[in-house]
Amino acid sequence: MKIWIALILATLAVSAYAQCGCDTMKWATCDGTPCVCHLMVGNGTKQVLDCNKLIPKCFLMQGEMYRGRKGLSTRTGIGGKPDETAFVDNDGIYDPDCEADGTFKAKQCNNTDTCWCVNSAGVRRTDKGDMTLKCDELVMTYWVRLELKHKPTTGKVNPANLKAAIADAIHKRYKNFNKDMIKEVQYDPDARLLIVDVQQPKGERKSDLTHMAYYMEKDVKVLPLLKSQEPFVPQVGDQKLEMENILVYYVDEKAPTFTMQHLSGGIIAVIVVVAVAVVAGLLVLFFARKRHNKYNKAQQREMDNM
Ligand SMILES: *[C@@H]1O[C@H](CO)[C@@H](O)[C@H](O)[C@H]1NC(C)=O
């Protein structure tokens, strides 16, 4: 009897020890009883993590910037806009300021004098300004569109099963992500394009949707953030969809306030083309004139000789 109890206690201890890890963050370090996990973030502080959930994107970005600075590896281990106000992240990663609960501060400066306002996904939604820039509130992203391109499959993908299969795969992989938020799945078999619209009710203050989108972005573009390095491969019927690319569109509760800055490249190109054309035209005129004058002078001389 005693032996049995001792054995059971021993296995419990071993499994408790084995479980001191962080499923949702491969760079986390965990120790102690009870098990506590943390992530090194900007300026070398330890951020305590709740590994029963997806880790807030703001902490993940801080962790990635920290690893980048330390020279640690960050790798280890249809289509179009959903809405006219939708936008993509053209800036990439920066070192964000986070609230204690992991939400982004509305104003971000990346440790520089240049600041901008972000949405709840930490993506810039205004022009860049100086440190006096005001961001009144953190505007929620309530809709993300995931444009996933998958690799060629061995057989046909049955579009009838698609939405349920994708919702299921997302639910299982990303900590029981709420399937009801997956509103629509469109599919273009020729382009191998899968478009997944994920929405939360307007006015919702949680950011599960943006965390999930970030985990998926890393799953497809780099390597999983999850401790388990198994790739994200949704199964639809008998077909496995291995992903090769992802583009994320963000739709915020309020439209972003970018000005025409993103058009300036196009405008500059037009100005350059017009300028070149004008200069070329002037050169042609100039040489034509010169030739004409020479001809006239030659004629004049001939006349004089006569
Ligand atoms: C943030 O700063 C880092 C260097 O400190 C730079 O590499 C990165 O491009 C900046 N990101 C943005 C969005 O400005």
Q: Please identify, by atom number, the ligand 1 atom nearest to the C-alpha of residue 91.
A: 13
- Write the Ramachandran bin of 79: left for phi over 0, alpha for psi from -120 to 50, otherwise beta: left
| Nearest C-alpha neighbor of 211 from the set 177, 234, 235, 242 | 177
The confidence score (pLDDT) of residue 81 equals 79
Q: How far is the CA of 94 from the centre of ligand 1 (A)?
A: 5
Q: Is 91 in the pocket of ligand 1 (CB under 6 A)?
A: yes
Q: What parts of the chain have a pLDDT lower than 70?
A: 1-18, 74-79, 260-272, 293-306
Are residues 55 and 102 in contact, defined by beta-carbon separation less than 8 angstroms?
yes
Q: How far is the CA of 48 from the centre of ligand 1 (A)?
A: 25
The confidence score (pLDDT) of residue 287 equals 79
Strand order in the sheet with 182-188: 182-188, 193-199, 141-150, 243-252
pTM value? 0.75
Cα separation, 55 vs 49, in Å, equals: 7
Q: How far is the CA of 93 from the centre of ligand 1 (A)?
A: 7
How crowded is residue 222: how many other Cβ atoms within 10 Å of its Cβ?
13
Ligand 1 binding pocket mutation candidate from 108, 110, 111 (most atoms within 8 A of CB)? 110
Cα separation, 193 vs 185, in Å, equals: 10
Q: Please identify, by atom number, the ligand 1 atom nearest to the C-alpha of residue 92.
A: 13
205 token code pair: 């203050």
| Nearest C-alpha neighbor of 101 from the set 67, 172, 53, 66 | 53
Q: Is 85 in the pocket of ligand 1 (CB under 6 A)?
A: no
The confidence score (pLDDT) of residue 302 equals 59
In CATH, 140-252 is 3.40.50.620: no
CA dihedral 157, 178, 57, 23 (to 10 degrees): -80
The confidence score (pLDDT) of residue 12 equals 46
